[in-house]
Structure 1
Amino acid sequence: MDNAFNWVNEPRSWRRENDSLWVTTDERTDFWHKTWYGFERFSGHFYGCDVTGDFTFQVKVRGDFNTLYDQAGIMLMQDNDHWLKAGIEYNDGAPAIGSVLTLGHSDWATGVYPGNAALFWMRLTRKGDSLRLQYSTDGKHWPLLRLAHFPVSGKCTVGVMCCTPERGGLSVRFDDFLLAPAFDKALHDLS
């Protein structure tokens, strides 16, 4: 990581050492925009850096997800109405892998996570107006989680996020930050 990373909604408790970031979430934090529930939240913790053009961002995440909607992973944001967050979110009594794409309104896609959710990796590649979102249980095999249209212009911010809509106190560790030119791999290349 370099010093270009900054907070949106800085948590009260966090520290950064070398290539690791430890965060403890504040109470009732979230990112959500209108759909189904009708409310808007932009209080989650997001630690990111500005990017333009095509890129790949990757990170390793550790956390103990045990309360409804506990979540951590990656995020890409153009502004309060245009963003993507993805990672583990505790849902229906178990940690799930999922993503929320917000283009004015939020959607939510979620599924069963096939590994131990206490440790996982997330990768986001942007090429033009397309986002390729992948996850990994071992840092080597990268299944596709989502392919999305994200029509952005100019600068965005990419980084890590964590939220606890129903409580506070989720401890999350982010390691092995990687920001690089866009990986130019075939869509079904899982490496």
Structure 2
Amino acid sequence: MIAWTDGTWTTPPAASSESGSHLDVTAREGSDAWRHTAYGFVHENAHALLAPLAVGEAMEVSFRAPWDGQFDQAGLYVHADEEHWMKAGLEFADGHLGLGAVVTEIRSDWSVGYVDDWHGSQITVRVSRWADALIVRARADDGEWRLVRVAPFDGDAVASAGPFLAAPTSANLVVRFTSWERSAADEALH
């Protein structure tokens, strides 16, 4: 387990409180992470609690959220610099819960698929860092791991990772993070 106090916030949230093994975090309205593509804007104020992530390591974050505000999102964030990062997890958009990832190399892209049946579950997102890639998996409760993304990532970059949340349009998103762990990276894609 990584202690919540071992991380550093990229942008402080509206509030956070630790109780037992979990951390409750309230997002600031208007928070997000995105660069240029399709929307034309740059947002760099998502709330990510980061600790070092080296090649050969994996990081895992588990959480619960209400998922009722447009674009409410939470998951795991990997950061090298302002133009090279990835966020992966759940986002509520247009009445559906989506599992996906945004990979940013100067410009952001977004891949997403509906997982409406995951509503109300504890979600776990896992990222393994290989020499040239990030391997993203996720699951609901104790279900099967689902491969979300294989994304290029510079193995020479100094990177950090950890839980994140953002609320681009709502003022009441509270995410309960229930665990934050570091381990050896997964050795295989399949």
Structure 1 residue identity aligned to 2:181: L
SS in 1 for 2:126: strand
SS in 2 for 1:107: strand
Tell me the residue number matched to 2:105. 103
> TM-score under structure 1 normalisation?
0.92
Tell me the residue number matched to 1:94. 96
The alignment of Structure 1 onto Structure 2 pairs a total of residues equal to 187
SS in 1 for 2:142: coil
Distance in 2, matches of 1:19 and 1:81, equals 33
Tell me the residue number matched to 2:41. 39
Contact 1:49-1:159 at 8 Å conserved across structures: yes
Query: Superposition pairs for residues 72-91 of structure 1, below 5 Å?
Result: 72-91=74-93
Distance in 2, matches of 1:154 and 1:106, equals 18
Aligned-residue RMSD, C-alpha: 1.4
> What do residues 64-87 of structure 1 show as CA deviations (whole Å, max 9, x unaligned)?
111211100101000111000011
Contact 2:69-2:169 at 8 Å conserved across structures: yes
Q: Does 1:53 align with 2:66?
A: no
Structure 2: runs of 5+ lacking an equivalent: none
Contact 1:55-1:125 at 8 Å conserved across structures: yes
Distance in 2, matches of 1:17 and 1:158, equals 22
Distance in 2, matches of 1:154 and 1:105, equals 18
Distance in 1, matches of 2:106 and 2:142, equals 33
**Is 62-71 or 49-58 further displaced after alignment?**
49-58
Contact 1:52-1:154 at 8 Å conserved across structures: no
Alignment partner of 1:121 out of 96, 119, 124 = 124
Contact 2:69-2:173 at 8 Å conserved across structures: no
SS in 1 for 2:118: coil
**Is 146-155 or 26-35 further displaced after alignment?**
146-155
- The runs of at least 4 consecutive aligned structure 1 residues that moved more than 3 Å come to none
Tell me the residue number matched to 2:168. 165
Distance in 1, matches of 2:184 and 2:37, equals 33
Distance in 2, matches of 1:109 and 1:34, equals 16
Structure 2 residue identity aligned to 1:107: D
Contact 1:57-1:158 at 8 Å conserved across structures: yes
Structure 2 residue identity aligned to 1:62: R
> TM-score under structure 2 normalisation?
0.92
Aligned-pair identity (%): 29
